Structure 1
Amino acid sequence: MAKQGDKIVNGRTGQTMIFLETGKETNGTLLETESFNPKSDMREPIHIHPKQESGARVISGKLHFLVNGKEEVISAGERITIAAGAAHCFWNEDDEVAHSVQYFTPALHIDEFFESFFALANDGKLSEKGMPPFLQLPLMGLKHRNEIRVTSPPWVIQLLTYYLLAPVCYLLGYRAGYRSEK
Protein backbone atom coordinates (compact mmCIF):
# COMPACT_ATOMS: atom_id res chain seq x y z
CA MET A 1 0.00 0.00 0.00
CA ALA A 2 1.36 3.38 -1.02
CA LYS A 3 2.41 5.86 1.60
CA GLN A 4 3.48 9.48 1.53
CA GLY A 5 6.80 9.85 -0.30
CA ASP A 6 6.65 6.57 -2.23
CA LYS A 7 7.67 6.85 -5.88
CA ILE A 8 6.61 4.62 -8.77
CA VAL A 9 7.64 4.74 -12.43
CA ASN A 10 5.68 3.54 -15.45
CA GLY A 11 8.24 1.91 -17.76
CA ARG A 12 5.82 2.07 -20.70
CA THR A 13 5.16 5.83 -20.69
CA GLY A 14 8.03 7.07 -18.52
CA GLN A 15 5.61 8.70 -16.06
CA THR A 16 6.97 9.09 -12.54
CA MET A 17 4.44 9.41 -9.72
CA ILE A 18 5.29 10.46 -6.16
CA PHE A 19 2.57 10.01 -3.55
CA LEU A 20 2.14 13.30 -1.66
CA GLU A 21 -0.97 12.31 0.33
CA THR A 22 -2.72 8.96 0.29
CA GLY A 23 -6.12 7.82 1.43
CA LYS A 24 -4.49 6.32 4.51
CA GLU A 25 -3.11 9.70 5.57
CA THR A 26 -6.28 11.65 4.72
CA ASN A 27 -8.87 9.24 6.13
CA GLY A 28 -9.90 8.38 2.58
CA THR A 29 -10.69 11.90 1.46
CA LEU A 30 -7.81 12.53 -0.97
CA LEU A 31 -5.03 11.00 -3.02
CA GLU A 32 -2.57 13.61 -4.24
CA THR A 33 0.44 12.81 -6.39
CA GLU A 34 3.27 14.69 -8.00
CA SER A 35 3.62 13.53 -11.58
CA PHE A 36 6.38 13.89 -14.15
CA ASN A 37 5.36 12.97 -17.70
CA PRO A 38 7.97 12.92 -20.47
CA LYS A 39 6.94 13.07 -24.11
CA SER A 40 5.39 9.76 -25.08
CA ASP A 41 3.49 8.30 -28.00
CA MET A 42 1.92 5.82 -25.57
CA ARG A 43 -1.45 6.90 -24.27
CA GLU A 44 -3.46 5.42 -21.46
CA PRO A 45 -6.83 3.95 -22.39
CA ILE A 46 -9.83 6.29 -22.25
CA HIS A 47 -11.40 5.67 -18.87
CA ILE A 48 -13.68 7.03 -16.17
CA HIS A 49 -13.45 7.34 -12.41
CA PRO A 50 -17.09 6.54 -11.59
CA LYS A 51 -17.04 7.79 -7.99
CA GLN A 52 -14.09 10.18 -7.95
CA GLU A 53 -13.44 13.71 -9.06
CA SER A 54 -9.92 14.06 -10.40
CA GLY A 55 -7.78 16.86 -11.65
CA ALA A 56 -4.35 18.31 -12.20
CA ARG A 57 -2.46 21.52 -11.64
CA VAL A 58 0.39 21.87 -14.14
CA ILE A 59 3.59 23.27 -12.64
CA SER A 60 5.73 23.21 -15.80
CA GLY A 61 5.31 21.98 -19.35
CA LYS A 62 1.94 21.05 -20.83
CA LEU A 63 -0.47 18.15 -20.49
CA HIS A 64 -3.00 17.25 -23.15
CA PHE A 65 -6.36 15.99 -21.84
CA LEU A 66 -9.15 14.39 -23.81
CA VAL A 67 -12.30 14.85 -21.71
CA ASN A 68 -15.65 13.67 -23.05
CA GLY A 69 -14.25 13.81 -26.59
CA LYS A 70 -12.85 17.37 -26.32
CA GLU A 71 -9.09 17.98 -26.23
CA GLU A 72 -7.73 20.57 -23.81
CA VAL A 73 -4.12 21.64 -23.37
CA ILE A 74 -3.27 22.61 -19.80
CA SER A 75 -0.12 24.72 -19.42
CA ALA A 76 2.00 25.77 -16.45
CA GLY A 77 -0.09 27.65 -13.89
CA GLU A 78 -3.36 26.18 -15.16
CA ARG A 79 -5.54 23.44 -13.73
CA ILE A 80 -8.24 21.06 -14.82
CA THR A 81 -11.01 19.37 -12.86
CA ILE A 82 -12.59 16.21 -14.23
CA ALA A 83 -16.01 15.27 -12.88
CA ALA A 84 -16.71 11.74 -11.69
CA GLY A 85 -17.87 9.66 -14.63
CA ALA A 86 -16.28 11.84 -17.35
CA ALA A 87 -14.47 9.83 -20.04
CA HIS A 88 -10.88 11.00 -20.29
CA CYS A 89 -7.19 10.35 -20.74
CA PHE A 90 -4.08 12.53 -20.71
CA TRP A 91 -0.62 12.58 -22.27
CA ASN A 92 2.37 14.77 -23.04
CA GLU A 93 3.23 15.27 -26.69
CA ASP A 94 5.69 18.11 -26.10
CA ASP A 95 9.47 17.84 -25.67
CA GLU A 96 9.46 19.35 -22.16
CA VAL A 97 8.65 17.02 -19.26
CA ALA A 98 5.24 17.95 -17.88
CA HIS A 99 5.33 18.38 -14.08
CA SER A 100 1.97 18.41 -12.33
CA VAL A 101 0.18 17.74 -9.08
CA GLN A 102 -2.78 15.44 -9.58
CA TYR A 103 -5.59 14.49 -7.22
CA PHE A 104 -8.47 12.07 -6.73
CA THR A 105 -11.26 12.65 -4.24
CA PRO A 106 -12.33 10.57 -2.47
CA ALA A 107 -9.16 8.50 -2.55
CA LEU A 108 -10.85 5.09 -2.40
CA HIS A 109 -8.12 2.58 -3.44
CA ILE A 110 -6.82 4.26 -6.59
CA ASP A 111 -3.29 4.22 -5.16
CA GLU A 112 -3.34 0.41 -5.15
CA PHE A 113 -4.49 0.45 -8.78
CA PHE A 114 -1.59 2.72 -9.78
CA GLU A 115 0.91 0.49 -7.98
CA SER A 116 -0.35 -2.61 -9.82
CA PHE A 117 -0.70 -0.84 -13.18
CA PHE A 118 2.82 0.62 -13.08
CA ALA A 119 4.26 -2.76 -12.01
CA LEU A 120 2.55 -4.43 -14.99
CA ALA A 121 3.99 -1.73 -17.28
CA ASN A 122 7.47 -2.26 -15.85
CA ASP A 123 7.25 -6.00 -16.42
CA GLY A 124 6.18 -5.43 -20.04
CA LYS A 125 2.76 -6.97 -19.43
CA LEU A 126 0.50 -4.22 -20.76
CA SER A 127 -0.91 -4.58 -24.26
CA GLU A 128 -0.13 -2.16 -27.07
CA LYS A 129 -3.29 -0.29 -26.00
CA GLY A 130 -2.10 -0.10 -22.38
CA MET A 131 -4.40 -2.80 -21.00
CA PRO A 132 -3.46 -5.43 -18.39
CA PRO A 133 -3.24 -9.09 -19.46
CA PHE A 134 -6.56 -10.75 -20.28
CA LEU A 135 -6.57 -12.94 -17.15
CA GLN A 136 -5.31 -10.15 -14.86
CA LEU A 137 -7.95 -7.69 -16.00
CA PRO A 138 -11.04 -9.34 -14.43
CA LEU A 139 -9.51 -9.31 -10.96
CA MET A 140 -8.22 -5.75 -11.19
CA GLY A 141 -11.49 -4.66 -12.82
CA LEU A 142 -13.57 -6.07 -9.99
CA LYS A 143 -11.31 -4.80 -7.21
CA HIS A 144 -11.14 -1.28 -8.64
CA ARG A 145 -14.61 -0.98 -10.22
CA ASN A 146 -15.36 2.05 -8.02
CA GLU A 147 -12.06 3.76 -8.91
CA ILE A 148 -11.48 3.22 -12.63
CA ARG A 149 -13.13 1.66 -15.68
CA VAL A 150 -12.33 1.71 -19.37
CA THR A 151 -15.13 3.08 -21.52
CA SER A 152 -15.31 0.21 -24.00
CA PRO A 153 -16.88 -2.31 -24.04
CA PRO A 154 -19.93 -1.13 -22.06
CA TRP A 155 -19.63 -1.55 -18.28
CA VAL A 156 -22.33 -4.23 -18.04
CA ILE A 157 -20.36 -6.40 -20.52
CA GLN A 158 -17.11 -5.81 -18.62
CA LEU A 159 -18.72 -6.65 -15.29
CA LEU A 160 -20.35 -9.84 -16.55
CA THR A 161 -17.08 -10.96 -18.16
CA TYR A 162 -15.11 -10.18 -14.99
CA TYR A 163 -17.48 -12.19 -12.77
CA LEU A 164 -17.45 -15.15 -15.16
CA LEU A 165 -13.65 -15.21 -15.52
CA ALA A 166 -12.60 -14.32 -11.95
CA PRO A 167 -12.72 -17.89 -10.54
CA VAL A 168 -10.59 -19.17 -13.43
CA CYS A 169 -8.11 -16.33 -12.96
CA TYR A 170 -7.72 -17.13 -9.25
CA LEU A 171 -7.26 -20.84 -10.02
CA LEU A 172 -4.50 -19.96 -12.48
CA GLY A 173 -2.69 -17.93 -9.82
CA TYR A 174 -3.64 -14.38 -10.78
CA ARG A 175 -4.45 -11.88 -8.03
CA ALA A 176 -6.21 -8.51 -7.98
CA GLY A 177 -3.02 -6.73 -6.92
CA TYR A 178 0.09 -7.16 -9.03
CA ARG A 179 3.65 -6.84 -7.80
CA SER A 180 6.63 -6.69 -10.14
CA GLU A 181 8.40 -9.94 -10.92
CA LYS A 182 11.71 -8.08 -11.34
Structure 2
Amino acid sequence: MPPATAVREIFNPRTGQRMCFLQTAADTDGELLRIETVNPPTGVAEPLHVHPFQETRAALVSGTLRFVVAGEERRLGPGDDLTIPAGTPHSFVNDGEADAVAIQEARPALRTADFFQTYFRLAERGELDDHGSPSLLRFALLGPEFADEIRLVSPPWAVQRALFAVLGPVARLRGLTAD
Protein backbone atom coordinates (compact mmCIF):
# COMPACT_ATOMS: atom_id res chain seq x y z
CA MET A 1 0.00 0.00 0.00
CA PRO A 2 1.43 3.43 -0.83
CA PRO A 3 2.25 5.69 2.10
CA ALA A 4 -0.22 8.45 2.99
CA THR A 5 2.19 11.12 1.81
CA ALA A 6 2.34 9.66 -1.72
CA VAL A 7 -1.00 11.27 -2.62
CA ARG A 8 -2.25 14.63 -1.38
CA GLU A 9 -5.70 14.66 -3.03
CA ILE A 10 -8.15 11.82 -3.56
CA PHE A 11 -11.59 11.55 -5.15
CA ASN A 12 -14.40 9.05 -4.62
CA PRO A 13 -16.30 8.74 -7.93
CA ARG A 14 -19.15 6.86 -6.25
CA THR A 15 -20.04 9.68 -3.86
CA GLY A 16 -18.24 12.66 -5.39
CA GLN A 17 -16.39 13.21 -2.10
CA ARG A 18 -12.96 14.83 -2.34
CA MET A 19 -10.20 14.93 0.25
CA CYS A 20 -7.07 17.04 0.34
CA PHE A 21 -4.54 15.91 2.93
CA LEU A 22 -3.31 19.13 4.55
CA GLN A 23 -1.17 17.42 7.20
CA THR A 24 -0.42 13.72 7.47
CA ALA A 25 1.27 11.43 9.97
CA ALA A 26 4.51 11.92 8.04
CA ASP A 27 4.22 15.71 8.40
CA THR A 28 3.36 15.70 12.13
CA ASP A 29 5.39 12.81 13.57
CA GLY A 30 2.16 10.83 13.78
CA GLU A 31 0.34 13.37 15.93
CA LEU A 32 -2.27 14.69 13.51
CA LEU A 33 -4.08 14.00 10.26
CA ARG A 34 -5.75 17.16 8.91
CA ILE A 35 -7.94 16.91 5.82
CA GLU A 36 -10.04 19.34 3.84
CA THR A 37 -13.11 17.40 2.71
CA VAL A 38 -15.75 18.27 0.14
CA ASN A 39 -18.93 16.27 0.67
CA PRO A 40 -21.62 16.58 -2.02
CA PRO A 41 -25.25 16.42 -0.91
CA THR A 42 -26.06 12.73 -1.27
CA GLY A 43 -28.44 12.26 1.65
CA VAL A 44 -26.73 8.91 2.30
CA ALA A 45 -25.13 8.65 5.73
CA GLU A 46 -21.87 6.82 6.23
CA PRO A 47 -22.12 3.71 8.40
CA LEU A 48 -22.14 4.16 12.17
CA HIS A 49 -18.53 3.64 13.23
CA VAL A 50 -15.91 4.39 15.87
CA HIS A 51 -12.29 5.44 15.83
CA PRO A 52 -11.16 3.35 18.81
CA PHE A 53 -7.90 5.20 19.51
CA GLN A 54 -8.44 8.60 17.92
CA GLU A 55 -10.20 11.81 18.81
CA THR A 56 -11.72 13.31 15.67
CA ARG A 57 -12.84 16.84 14.90
CA ALA A 58 -14.83 18.50 12.13
CA ALA A 59 -15.00 22.24 11.49
CA LEU A 60 -17.45 23.37 8.80
CA VAL A 61 -16.23 25.93 6.28
CA SER A 62 -19.35 25.97 4.10
CA GLY A 63 -22.57 24.01 3.63
CA THR A 64 -24.04 21.79 6.33
CA LEU A 65 -23.40 18.33 7.73
CA ARG A 66 -25.70 16.39 10.02
CA PHE A 67 -23.81 14.32 12.58
CA VAL A 68 -25.16 11.62 14.86
CA VAL A 69 -22.77 11.20 17.79
CA ALA A 70 -23.51 8.71 20.57
CA GLY A 71 -27.16 8.73 19.47
CA GLU A 72 -27.52 12.53 19.51
CA GLU A 73 -28.05 14.52 16.32
CA ARG A 74 -26.24 17.78 15.62
CA ARG A 75 -26.28 19.86 12.44
CA LEU A 76 -23.13 21.85 11.71
CA GLY A 77 -23.03 24.94 9.53
CA PRO A 78 -20.24 27.37 8.58
CA GLY A 79 -18.12 28.23 11.61
CA ASP A 80 -19.41 25.31 13.70
CA ASP A 81 -17.14 22.54 14.92
CA LEU A 82 -17.51 19.25 16.73
CA THR A 83 -15.01 17.07 18.60
CA ILE A 84 -15.72 13.35 18.92
CA PRO A 85 -13.85 11.42 21.64
CA ALA A 86 -12.12 8.16 20.76
CA GLY A 87 -14.42 5.16 20.79
CA THR A 88 -17.62 7.20 20.35
CA PRO A 89 -20.11 5.86 17.76
CA HIS A 90 -20.85 8.43 15.07
CA SER A 91 -21.76 9.05 11.45
CA PHE A 92 -22.47 12.05 9.29
CA VAL A 93 -24.31 12.95 6.12
CA ASN A 94 -24.69 15.94 3.86
CA ASP A 95 -28.46 16.04 3.53
CA GLY A 96 -28.41 19.68 2.50
CA GLU A 97 -28.58 21.23 -0.96
CA ALA A 98 -24.95 22.30 -1.47
CA ASP A 99 -21.48 20.82 -1.09
CA ALA A 100 -20.24 20.81 2.50
CA VAL A 101 -16.60 21.80 2.95
CA ALA A 102 -15.02 20.86 6.26
CA ILE A 103 -11.64 20.59 7.89
CA GLN A 104 -11.47 17.23 9.62
CA GLU A 105 -8.79 16.05 12.02
CA ALA A 106 -7.77 12.80 13.66
CA ARG A 107 -5.41 12.64 16.67
CA PRO A 108 -3.19 10.67 16.58
CA ALA A 109 -3.00 10.28 12.81
CA LEU A 110 -2.34 6.52 12.82
CA ARG A 111 -2.95 5.11 9.29
CA THR A 112 -6.22 6.91 8.63
CA ALA A 113 -4.94 8.54 5.43
CA ASP A 114 -4.01 5.06 4.16
CA PHE A 115 -7.52 3.86 4.99
CA PHE A 116 -9.14 6.67 2.99
CA GLN A 117 -6.79 6.13 0.05
CA THR A 118 -7.57 2.41 0.04
CA TYR A 119 -11.31 2.98 0.30
CA PHE A 120 -11.33 5.59 -2.49
CA ARG A 121 -9.29 3.24 -4.74
CA LEU A 122 -11.95 0.56 -4.22
CA ALA A 123 -14.57 3.12 -5.26
CA GLU A 124 -12.53 4.07 -8.34
CA ARG A 125 -12.44 0.41 -9.38
CA GLY A 126 -16.19 0.00 -8.81
CA GLU A 127 -15.62 -2.47 -5.97
CA LEU A 128 -18.15 -0.96 -3.55
CA ASP A 129 -21.87 -1.72 -3.51
CA ASP A 130 -24.70 0.83 -3.71
CA HIS A 131 -24.29 1.56 0.00
CA GLY A 132 -20.54 2.13 -0.37
CA SER A 133 -19.55 -1.15 1.24
CA PRO A 134 -16.90 -3.56 -0.03
CA SER A 135 -17.69 -7.23 -0.51
CA LEU A 136 -17.75 -9.34 2.65
CA LEU A 137 -14.49 -11.03 1.65
CA ARG A 138 -12.74 -7.71 1.00
CA PHE A 139 -14.14 -6.38 4.29
CA ALA A 140 -12.63 -9.43 6.03
CA LEU A 141 -9.24 -8.07 4.94
CA LEU A 142 -9.90 -4.35 5.43
CA GLY A 143 -11.30 -4.76 8.95
CA PRO A 144 -8.16 -6.17 10.56
CA GLU A 145 -5.86 -4.00 8.39
CA PHE A 146 -7.40 -0.78 9.74
CA ALA A 147 -8.82 -1.94 13.11
CA ASP A 148 -6.89 0.72 15.03
CA GLU A 149 -8.26 3.48 12.78
CA ILE A 150 -11.91 2.62 12.19
CA ARG A 151 -14.45 -0.05 13.14
CA LEU A 152 -18.10 -0.51 12.33
CA VAL A 153 -20.37 -0.50 15.38
CA SER A 154 -22.47 -3.41 14.14
CA PRO A 155 -22.07 -6.31 14.36
CA PRO A 156 -20.15 -6.13 17.65
CA TRP A 157 -16.36 -6.05 17.36
CA ALA A 158 -15.98 -9.60 18.76
CA VAL A 159 -18.29 -10.93 16.02
CA GLN A 160 -16.41 -8.98 13.36
CA ARG A 161 -13.08 -10.39 14.56
CA ALA A 162 -14.46 -13.93 14.41
CA LEU A 163 -15.70 -13.32 10.85
CA PHE A 164 -12.33 -11.86 9.85
CA ALA A 165 -10.56 -14.95 11.22
CA VAL A 166 -12.76 -17.27 9.17
CA LEU A 167 -13.19 -15.23 5.98
CA GLY A 168 -9.74 -13.60 5.76
CA PRO A 169 -7.99 -16.80 4.67
CA VAL A 170 -10.75 -17.49 2.12
CA ALA A 171 -10.31 -13.97 0.70
CA ARG A 172 -6.54 -14.44 0.40
CA LEU A 173 -7.01 -17.82 -1.27
CA ARG A 174 -9.18 -16.06 -3.84
CA GLY A 175 -6.36 -13.60 -4.49
CA LEU A 176 -7.91 -10.60 -2.73
CA THR A 177 -5.94 -8.04 -0.78
CA ALA A 178 -7.08 -5.23 1.50
CA ASP A 179 -6.32 -2.86 -1.35
Corresponding residue for residue 74 of structure 1: 76
Q: In the alignment, is the contact (CA less than 8 A) between 1:45 and 1:130 conserved in 2?
A: no
| TM-score using structure 1 length | 0.92
Q: Give the match's secondary structure for 1:119.
A: helix
The C-alpha deviation readout for 1:134-168, integer Å capped at 9, x for no partner, is 11111110011111011111100000110122122
Candidates 163, 166, 179, aligned match of 1:164: 166
Q: Hey, which bits of structure 1, 4+ residues long, moved more than 4 A?
A: none
Corresponding residue for residue 86 of structure 2: 84
Corresponding residue for residue 64 of structure 2: 62
Q: In the alignment, is the contact (CA less than 8 A) between 1:58 and 1:100 conserved in 2?
A: yes
Matched, 1:110 2:112: yes
Shift of 1:103: 0.4
Specify every segment of 5 or more residues in structure 1 that has no aligned partner in the other structure, as ranges. Answer: none
Separation (CA, whole Å) in 2 of partners of 1:115 and 1:6: 10
Percent of counterpart pairs with the same letter?
A: 41
Corresponding residue for residue 33 of structure 1: 35
Separation (CA, whole Å) in 2 of partners of 1:135 and 1:165: 6
Separation (CA, whole Å) in 1 of partners of 2:14 and 2:100: 16
Corresponding residue for residue 17 of structure 2: 15
Q: In the alignment, is the contact (CA less than 8 A) between 1:4 and 1:19 conserved in 2?
A: no
Q: Which amino acid aligns with 1:108?
A: L
Q: Give the match's secondary structure for 1:41.
A: coil
Specify every segment of 5 or more residues in structure 2 that has no aligned partner in the other structure, as ranges. Answer: none
Corresponding residue for residue 47 of structure 2: 45
Matched, 1:145 2:147: yes
Matched, 1:121 2:123: yes
Shift of 1:19: 0.4
Q: In the alignment, is the contact (CA less than 8 A) between 1:8 and 1:16 conserved in 2?
A: yes
1:5–1:119: structure 2 CA closer, same or farther, 3 Å change rule? closer
Instruction: Indicate the larger mover: 38-47 or 149-158.
Output: 38-47
Shift of 1:125: 1.8
Q: Which amino acid aligns with 2:102?
A: S
Separation (CA, whole Å) in 1 of partners of 2:40 and 2:122: 19
Separation (CA, whole Å) in 1 of partners of 2:126 and 2:43: 16
Q: Which amino acid aligns with 1:91?
A: V
Q: CA RMSD in A?
A: 1.3
1:5–1:161: structure 2 CA closer, same or farther, 3 Å change rule? closer
Task: Count how many residue pairs are aligned between Structure 1 and Structure 2.
Answer: 177
Separation (CA, whole Å) in 2 of partners of 1:126 and 1:83: 28
